[in-house]
Structure 1
Amino acid sequence: MPNANEDKSTALSQVQRRAVSELLRVSPVADDLARRFQEAGFSLALVGGSVRDALLGRLGNDLDFTTDARPDDVLKIIRPWADSVWEVGIAFGTVGCQKQGYQIEVTTYRSEAYDRTSRKPEVSYGDSIEEDLARRDFTVNAMAVALPEKEFVDPHGGLEDLAARVLRTPGTPEESFSDDPLRMMRAARFAAQLDFEVAPEVVTAMKEMADRIGIVSAERVRDELNKLILSPHPRKGLALLVDSGLADHVLPELPALRLESDEHHRHKDVYEHSLTVLEQAMDLEVDGPDLVLRLAALLHDIGKPRTRRFEKDGRVSFHHHEVVGAKMTKKRMIALKYSNDVIKDVSRLVELHLRFHGYGAGEWTDSAVRRYVRDAGPQLERLHKLTRSDCTTRNKRKATALSQAYGGLEERIAELQEQEELDAIRPDLDGNQIQEILGVGPGPVIGKAYAFLLELRLENGPMKHGAAVAALKEWWATQG
Structure 2
Amino acid sequence: MNFAETLHTNPIFKIVADAAKTLNVPAYVVGGFVRDLILNRPSKDIDIVCVGSGIELAELVAKNSGREDTYLSVFKNFGTAMIKLDDWEVEFVGARKESYQRDSRKPIVEDGTLEDDQNRRDFTINAMAISLNDNNFGELIDPFDGLADIRRKIIKTPLEPSITFSDDPLRMMRAIRFATQLNFDIHPDTFDALIKEKERIEIISKERITDELNKIILAKKPSYGFLLLDSCGLLEKIFPEFVKLKGVETEEGKGHKDNFYHTLQVLDNASTKTDDLWIRWAAILHDIAKPATKRFDKKRGWTFHGHEEMGAKWVKGIFTEMRLPLNEKMRYVKKLVRLHLRPIALSKEAITDSALRRLLYEAGEDLEGLMILCRADITSKNGEKVKKYLRNFDIVEQKLKEVEESDKLRQFQPVVTGEIIMELFGIKPSKEVGIIKIAVREAILEGQIENTLESGIPFVLAEGAKLGLVAVEK
Aligned partners of 1:262 and 1:268 also within 8 Å:
no
Letter in 2 for 1:185: M
* C-alpha contact 1:258 1:272 (8 A) present in aligned 2: yes
Letter in 2 for 1:410: E
Aligned: 1:53 with 2:36: yes
Deviates more, 1:275-284 or 1:102-111: 102-111
Residue 384 of structure 1 pairs with residue 371 of structure 2: yes
Matched, 1:133 2:118: yes
Offset at 1:370? 1.3
SS in structure 2 of the partner of residue 273 of structure 1: helix
Question: Residues 345 and 113 (structure 1 numbering): CA distance in 2 closer, same or farther, change over 3 Å?
Answer: farther
* Superposed displacement of residue 306, structure 1: 1.6
Relative to structure 1, is the Cα distance of residues 76 and 269 closer, same or farther in structure 2, using a 3 angstrom cutoff?
same
Q: Give, in whole Å, the separation in 2 of the partners of 1:447 and 1:63.
A: 60
Following TM superposition, by how much is the alpha carbon of 1:116 offset from its aligned partner in structure 2, in angstroms? 4.0
CA contact (8 A) 1:85 1:95 kept: no
Contact 1:426 1:457 (8 Å CA) reproduced: no
Secondary structure, aligned partner of 1:45: strand
Q: Do the aligned partners of 2:263 and 2:284 also contact (CA within 8 Å) in 1?
A: yes
Cα distance in 1, alignment partners of residues 97 and 439 from structure 2: 65
CA apart distance, 1:423: 1.0
Q: Which one is further off, 44-53 or 85-94?
A: 85-94
1:380/1:442 CA distance change after superposition, 3 Å: same
Task: Describe the shift of the 1:181–1:57 C-alpha distance in structure 2 as closer, same or farther (beyond 3 A).
Answer: same
**What is the aligned counterpart of 2:238 among 244, 250, 273?**
250
* Aligned AA (2:265): T
Gaps of 5+ in 2: 469-474
Give 1:162-311 correspondences, 5 Å limit: 162-260=150-248, 266=255, 268-285=257-274, 289-311=275-297
Alignment of 1:77 onto 2:73 = no
Structure 1, unpaired ranges of 5+: 1-15
Shift of 1:327: 2.9
The CA deviation string for residues 414-455 of structure 1, in whole angstroms up to 9 with x for no partner, is: 001111112111102234433433334556665554333222
Whole-angstrom CA distance in 2 between matches of 1:342 and 1:433: 34
1:433 paired with 2:420, answer yes
Q: TM-score, normalised by structure 1?
A: 0.88
Query: Is residue 106 from structure 1 mapped to residue 92 from structure 2 by the alignment?
Result: yes
From 360, 377, 380, the equivalent of 1:373 is: 360
Aligned pairs for 1:335-374 (under 5 A) are 335-340=321-326, 341-359=328-346, 361-374=348-361
TM-score (norm 2): 0.89
Q: CA deviation at 1:183?
A: 0.5
Asked whether the 8 Å contact 1:62–1:104 carries over to 2, the reply is yes
Given that residues 22 and 54 in structure 1 are in contact (C-alpha distance below 8 angstroms), is that contact kept between their aligned partners in structure 2?
A: no
CA separation in 2, counterparts of 1:438 and 1:114?
75
Instruction: Count matched residues.
Output: 458
- 8 A contact 1:108–1:125 mirrored in 2: no
- Give me the whole-angstrom Cα distance separating, in 2, the residues matched to 1:376 and 1:281: 18
Question: Percent identity of the aligned residues?
Answer: 34
8 Å CA contact 1:255, 1:271 repeated in 2: yes
User: Secondary structure at 2:324's aligned position in 1?
Assistant: coil
Q: Is the 8 A contact 2:248 2:256 kept in 1?
A: no
Match of 1:143 in 2: 128
- What's the secondary structure of 2:81's corresponding residue? strand
Q: Look up the match of 2:19.
A: 36
Partner of 2:45: 62
TM-superposed deviation, 1:88: 7.7
- Structure 2 CA distance for aligned equivalents of residues 378 and 262 of structure 1: 41
CA RMSD of aligned residues (A): 2.6
Name the CA distance, whole Å, in 2 between partners of 1:88 and 1:326: 44
In structure 2, relative to structure 1, the CA distance for the partners of 1:89 and 1:178 (3 Å cut) is farther
Deviates more, 1:100-109 or 1:306-315: 306-315
SS in structure 1 at match of 2:440 = helix
Aligned AA (1:51): V
CA contact (8 A) 1:417 1:423 kept: yes
Secondary structure at the residue paired with 1:253?
helix
How far 1:472 sits from its partner (Å)?
1.5
1:233/1:72 Cα in 2 relative to 1: closer, same or farther (>3 Å)? same
Distance 2:15 2:146 in 1: 27
Q: How does 1:309-320 map to 2 (within 5 A)?
A: 309-313=295-299, 315-320=301-306
The SS at the match of 1:467 is helix
